Amino acid sequence: MQTTLLNTLKHLKSQSNQADLRRFQRGIERECLRITPAGKLAATTHPIELGKTLTHPHITTDYAEMLLEFITPVATDIQVTLDQLTDIHSYTYRYMGEELMWPLSMPCFVGDATDIHIARYGDSHSGHMKNLYRQGLTYRYGGGMQIIAGVHFNFSIPQAMWEALAAQDGETLTADYISARYFGLIRNYKRLCWMIPYLFGASPAICQSFLEHTDGAMELKKLGKGTVYREFGTALRMSDLGYTNKEQADLQITYNSLNDYVTRLRRAITTPSQRFAKIGVKEVNADGTPDYRQLNANILQIENEFYSPIRPKRVTLNGETPTQALERGGVEYIEVRALDVNPFSPIGITEGQIRMLDMLLLHCLLSDSPELNWDEQQATERNFNKVVLDGRDPRLSLNDRGYDRAIADWLEEIFADLQSIAKFLDGEQGQSYQETVAEHYQMVLNPELTLSGQMLRILRDEDLDNSYFGLRLAKQYRQELQQPLRYFSEDEFSSWRDASIAEQQAREDEDSGTSFDDYLKTYFEKARCTAAECGSS
């Protein structure tokens, strides 16, 4: 085991407040498509019985009107988070009629591009901006990339652990210290995040119809009537076929400091793009009304357009951009964005996955994390892409600090470290984390036990198309999710619905006498300044 990791674990074990050290804060964001019983994209609007997607705290949409997004509140107990997510699924199903939730990351059958309906958020300026941003994504990258679903895992370190780490380092506990340590975590995550598609990638096969909606290309095999797959693939969602953006490679956004990160990101949202300028920003219709195509012609329309498998985050205040929030208060939590939807779970993620993410992120936090220059960061991204495409190939090797290393050998070393972390997290009485390590270690010994391996085995053994496999699971999970609420109450869901409707109406009433053009101008004027500059204006 690394000396730094070993010494830090010993230091943490010596603390008297063990329970407080393990009180990680977590939240889940799960996306899924609404589909028809025939396995096609739902053409209906978001059910009004669920409230308004612009203002609902837990049930919203992402890019498309049929792409649901479920958001759990912050919790420190894994089972609470899972119960919250289950309740949101169960409640939503009550108002979906015969429609189903698609249980895979890659879409069901996609016919014409016009079947992909951009999400609507009402007539307020903020709602119009959200819709227009998505319109810009369509012109820039196509709609196909925007109906891919994933799971985001939000994670923060408890105050007690920060205090213990700062004491060990001989540092005063400040927002700057916490941000620097979070960026160290992110750099190590970049070095090791190939583990996530290896263990949890669940999109080795896709519906052939999707190839008509992507610019990516690679060698694929045919399966059944309408499925294509990669022999040793793990997460085609994260490949050139799926949720990637090659245009952003030139941004050279690194993670060596908060200041460098926000400076480069702000530059991207203020620098014009020749390519995107050709799309146009605002045309004028024959009747004189404006017809926006995108928010602007910059490299990024807004900061959320920057695609990354991990993001440093802080909850924004009213009127703040994400970078301004980071400048104001430092990093509050990190968002892991590399997870496929788990097809073997009715809610897209399992307790075991959460425990593995806890351990992997703690490994990244407690290990040495030297700066990562752009060339080194690109090497980590090539490792990630190799595992996405061929992660279950037993002959696969990755770049470890400039040298080729067999993936199985590297996994063995990491799992030895995770076992020690598991013992710390379990404490004197528990076994859950150690059992989770033992369970997932079997995937190191046999790659076919990974989620992608399990999925491909079912498709091959049963000669199933991807679409039939997904539809079968969707129908099964619909039945399983017809259950009483576990955590939330009926009154809570009703109050969220009513409050979301009222809040959206209030926004629309407030904006009715003002210009959307002026709203955008003001927004981007504020987006260009730092938190300190905006605060002083």
pLDDT under 50: residue ranges of the chain: 536-537
Helix (H, G, I), strand (E, B) or coil at 185: helix
pLDDT tens per residue across span 17-33 = 999 999 999 999 999 99
User: Which positions ≥6 away from 398 have C-beta within 8 Å?
Assistant: 194, 383, 386, 387, 404, 405, 407, 410
Which secondary-structure segment (H or E) carries 222?
strand 221-223
What would you measure as the largest C-alpha separation in the chain, in angstroms? 74
For residue 152, the model assigns a pLDDT of 98
What pLDDT, on a 0 to 100 scale, did the predictor assign at position 283?
85
Helix (H, G, I), strand (E, B) or coil at 8: helix
Around 523, how many Cα atoms within 13 Å sit in the side-chain half-sphere? 19
Specify the DSSP element, H or E, that contains 30: strand 25-35
DSSP 272: B
With b meaning 16 or more CB within 10 Å and e meaning fewer, what string describes 295-333?
bbbbbbbbbebbbbbbbbbbeeeeebbbbbbbbbebbbb
Residue 297, C-beta contacts closer than 8 angstroms, at least 6 positions apart: 272, 273, 276, 277, 279, 280, 281
Q: Which of 336, 367, 332, 292 is nearest to 6 (CA)?
A: 367
The pLDDT of residue 537: 43
> Residue 530: CB partners within 8 Å, gap ≥ 6?
262, 266, 324, 327
Please tell me the predicted confidence (pLDDT) of residue 243: 60
Burial of 175 (0-12, 13-18, 19+ CB in 10 A): middle
Confidence (pLDDT) at 244: 60
- What the block records as the tokens of 35 is 């589909």
Three-class DSSP category at 269: coil
Q: Which two tokens stand for residue 459?
A: 């498709």
**The whole model's pTM is what?**
0.96
